[in-house]
Structures are given as structure tokens and as C-alpha cells.
Amino acid sequence: MNRFLTQAAIAASLPTLLLACSPQTTPDADTTSESAPEEEVAAATDGTGELTIRANGEDFVRQGFVTKDGWEVSFDHVYVTLTGITAYQSDPPFDAEAGGTPEATETVAIAETVTVDLAEGDDNAEPIMVKSVEAPAGRYNALSWQMMPAAEGPAAGQTIWMQGTATKAGETIDFVVKLDPELEYVCGDFVGDERKGILNADEAADLEATFHFDHLFGDGEAPADDDINTGALGFDPLAAIADGGTLDVDMAALEAQLTPEEYQTLMGILPSLGHVGEGHCEETQLVDS
């Protein structure tokens, strides 16, 4: 009888198995339950909470990585300078592909220009805090910021300052790469392991500007024909213009010493560095210094 039941169950299920439905679909909750969620979603009129903006260079910056062309790169400092940081409660949700400006019911702007070191801390450091402000409760589902040369500090005059070491086949290059374009990113909702920007009254939430440096150098752990590598500059072009194991270049030097194709590749990649987690942004290069 058990055998009969097994066959019956299989027979009943077979049409489903033959359809292209998602076999790994895993209901994580009783979708028929009518009970209210444990945590209410904040409305814009529910008071205020603490909204923290963070900047994240990901493990590529914190822990180092192997580039698409086999260089083992580690960073001492990756300074980025952010300004015009604005968080939005956008309704409807902002579509970065469509572009434009979020239709905001609430807007929180950070007045300061802030330089942060994405490589600060140890291998497992948290994303770097840019600024924390009191903000109206609600759902912040869009974030924009600009990048511009720092006015002062260790990265003065540069938008992105990368300092570190690259090693390959016994060769070591100590590098400082200084880039000074002005960039703008307008992004939608954070895409990642967890949701961000949901701010309830008297509580805290964060938003994150994420920087994907694998777009610049590629990823040695990905296949050579993967898009992350075919579109990346890699480190070989930089190693080729190093002098005695040292590379200290700014944008003008890169334009003069890289091939035109390499330089254009670099300039084409820079606007793509900014994300919100794994979500993409509308990117604009304001100034090509």
C-alpha cells in the first residue's frame, strides 16, 4: 500500500515537475497566515530615528584580492570623497535605469563633504560610517551622492586615492593611484543580503554607498571570459608603467603613460564603481579632469 501511495504521489506531482517552475522555491513563512508582521513598517509621519550613511569597499578592499591578470593586490588606503549625499523616501520606487530624480516624499541631505578610507580597519571591518543624522521615520529606498576631489587631508586634490601593494611572480609594486574625476550616482533601493533604509521611529537604520573595485581590476577567481574580467583594466597596464617597483601616478600621468585604449577603459570604468549593495545606479561623469 505504501508503494501505491508513493506512486500516486509521484503521479500527482509529475505535471508540476515537468513545468519550468522554480524547484528551489522555499516558502519561509505561512503565506496563508493573516497575522500582522512582527515589525510594522514605518510611515513618514511616525516620528524620527537615526539614519546612518555608510561607505563600503567590500572585501576586495578590506582583504585584498587577485586581479584578473594574477596580481595579488592589498590596499593600505582607499580614500573616497563624497558630497551631496541625499537619502530619499521615493514613491514610486526610483528606477535607476529610467534615470531622472527620485519622487521623494521625504528627503534627507547631508550637508558635509566627507572623505573616508574604505580600507580602514581589519579584514572583517564594518563598512565605514560616513555620517549619522536624525531623520524622519519611513522607508529610504533611494540614495544619491557625488564624488569630488578632497579639499584637504591625505587625499587632497583627489576623488579616489588608492595606495597599496601588488605582487605577482616575485615582483612587488608599491602603488599610489590618484584619480580626480567628478562623478554622480543616483541609486534606488539597496540590494543585498538584508534590506536597508527602513527607519522606524526611535530606532536606527542605515544606507550604503558600495564601491565595486573588481570592476576596475577584475577578479582572478572569476573565469577569464566573465564580463567582470573582459570589461576590467586589470593591473598589468599599471605594472607596465611602474618604475623600480614603485608606481605613483595621477590622472594626467595615467593619460600620458597608458595607451589610449587603456586610458579610455579606465575612464569608462570609473563611473561604474558606485552601487547600492549589488544594485546599480544612474551614473554621471560630471568632470573629466
Partner 1 sequence: MKGFGSALRSGLQHLGIVAIAMGSLPGVAIAHGAHIQARTATAMEIQATYDSGEPLAEATVQVFAPDDPQTPVYTGLTDADGKFVFVPTAPGNWEVSVRQAGHGDIAVVPVESEGAIASTFTNDAGLSLLQRGIVAGAVTWGCVGTALFFGRRGKQ
69 vs 175 by CB, closer to partner 1: 69
Question: H-helix or E-strand containing 266?
Answer: helix 260-269
By CB under 8 A, tell whether 207 contacts partner 1: no
* CA 35 – CA 157 distance, rounded (Å): 56
Residues between 219 and 238 with contacts to partner 1, criterion CB under 8 A:
222, 227-228, 231
Give min distance, CB of 156 to partner 1, in A.
Answer: 30
By CB under 8 A, tell whether 32 contacts partner 1: yes
282 with 270: CB under 8 angstroms? Answer: no
By CB under 8 A, tell whether 272 contacts partner 1: yes
Per CB under 8 A, the list member of 29, 152, 225, 243 interacting with partner 1 is 29
Amino acid at 154: P
57 vs 188 by CB, closer to partner 1: 188
Give min distance, CB of 105 to partner 1, in A.
Answer: 14
By CB under 8 A, tell whether 15 contacts partner 1: yes
Torsion from C-alpha of 97, 109, 125, 220, nearest 10 degrees = 20
223 vs 245 by CB, closer to partner 1: 223
Give min distance, CB of 258 to partner 1, in A.
Answer: 20
The site string for partner 1 over 82-101 (x = CB under 8 A, - otherwise) reads ----------xx-xxxx---
Give min distance, CB of 8 to partner 1, in A.
Answer: 6
Nearest to 159 by CA among 69, 43, 267: 267
The site string for partner 1 over 250-269 (x = CB under 8 A, - otherwise) reads --------------------
* CA 274 – CA 271 distance, rounded (Å): 7
Per CB under 8 A, the list member of 57, 127, 136, 188 interacting with partner 1 is 188
By CB under 8 A, tell whether 16 contacts partner 1: yes
Other beta carbons less than 10 A from residue 133's beta carbon: 15
* CA 162 – CA 171 distance, rounded (Å): 19
By CB under 8 A, tell whether 208 contacts partner 1: no
Rounded (5°) CA angle 181-128-85: 50
Task: Report how far apart, in Å, the C-alpha atoms of 112 and of each of 8, 84, 89, 115, 163 are.
Answer: 67, 8, 20, 10, 25
By CB under 8 A, tell whether 191 contacts partner 1: yes
* CA 57 – CA 75 distance, rounded (Å): 11
Nearest to 53 by CA among 127, 118, 123: 127
Q: Which residues contact 268 (CB under 8 A, 6 or more apart)?
A: none
**Which residues in this chain contact partner 1 in the complex, by CB under 8 A?**
1-2, 5-6, 8-9, 12-16, 19-29, 31-32, 36-37, 39, 41, 92-93, 95-98, 139, 188-189, 191-192, 194-195, 198, 212, 214-215, 222, 227-228, 231, 272, 277-283
